[in-house]
Amino acid sequence: GYDEKTLFQNVNLQIDRSERVAMIGDNGCGKSTMMRLIQGKEAPKAGEARLGDKELCKVNYFYQNQAEDLDGDVGVLETLVRAAPDEPLNQLKALLGRMAFNTSYHDRPVNFLSGGEKARLALAKFMVTPANVLFLDEPTNHLDIESIQWLEDFLKNYHGAIILISHDRAFLDFVTNRTIEINAGKIYDYKFAYSKYKVLREEELIVQKSAAKNQEKYIK
């Protein structure tokens, strides 16, 4: 939490390397905070939040305004080369081609790209950066439909761990296999993708409301 505000407490979670986790909840509930805690970018007020072996965990982080961190003076192709120096040059060029950057773009500085082109380049850079743990915070917000499809395909074929925050429920359902909900300071953990989680969660709420009404009648 922050100052006097507690976002969540009494949490015990473990995410393993093969899991693809959707983190959901209302705005301000603590999703992004949880993501930063796991990465070590913030410290919890009590307890411990950490990655596993730092030598083994290679993290890549995609956030809403990813394009803003691109170096404007570097060319399009060189941006990918710097992100993945061991990747064959032909494969980097092929990826740029799939993302609508023909050869005329290869030497063009990032500052001369449009907003949409910068978003696509940021996505390409994310896709080639070596990692076995991916954190994504609302990654689809500034992407067009075709770019979202590229990201979906990339994540679907990715073999490491994924922790994903998104309000795009179809995107969550396509990519993830576990759902963690942060709600009123509590954590609800389901070993299912979003659509199945939603059904089970609604059933639980119905049971809880019924039990509360019965308890109220009993007290009266």
Over the stretch 141-164, which tens digit does the pLDDT of each residue have? 888 898 899 999 999 999 999 999
Span 32-52, average pLDDT = 90
Span 70-97, average pLDDT = 96
Please answer whether residues 200 and 208 qualify as being in contact, where contact means their C-beta atoms are separated by less than 8 angstroms. Answer: no
Poorest-confidence range of 17-21, 75-79, 128-132, 200-204? 200-204
Phi, psi at 23, each rounded to 5°: -110, 115
Chain CA centroid to CA 31, Å: 10
For residue 211, is pLDDT > 70?
no
Higher pLDDT, 95 or 216: 95
Rounded Cα gap, residues 65 and 80, in angstroms? 18
Q: What is the pTM of this model?
A: 0.84
The structure tokens 């994310």 sit at 126
The pLDDT value recorded for residue 121 is 94
How many helices (H) does the chain have, and how many strands (E)?
Answer: 7, 6
The pLDDT value recorded for residue 218 is 62
The pLDDT value recorded for residue 195 is 86
Q: For residue 53, what pLDDT band results from cuts at 50, 70 and 90? A: confident
Q: How many CA atoms lie within 13 A of 87 on its CB side?
A: 21
